[in-house]
Amino acid sequence: MASWAVLNEQVVWISQLATGFTIVCERCVELGEGFPSVQETLSLEHTRGTMSCPRGHEIRIERDGR
Ligand SMILES: [Zn+2]
């Protein structure tokens, strides 16, 4: 169901100079799957990206600042 996915889209903001960060998937937390943290990197030339948690939930990465 597309509308569900849009409404529940996860967006994580990272700081302007962050290249490595750890994210906790909120979908997994809501489902009672514990607190699965995901380590991710995003090189400085990218202002955004997408990743998936170990259980396949999509997480959007947005870089703060410009
Ligand atoms: Zn998840």
- For residue range 16-48, what is the model confidence (pLDDT) as tens digits? 999 999 999 999 999 998 878 989 999 999 999
Tokens of 13: 């903001």
Dist. CA 56 → ligand 1 center (Å): 6
Tokens of 28: 């997994």
CB 15 within 8 A of CB 65: yes
Return the pLDDT at 35.
75
Residue 7: pLDDT band with limits 50, 70, 90: low
Dist. CA 57 → ligand 1 center (Å): 5
| Domain residue ranges of the chain, discontinuous segments joined by + | 2-63
Dist. CA 14 → ligand 1 center (Å): 18
Model confidence, pTM: 0.76
Dist. CA 26 → ligand 1 center (Å): 7
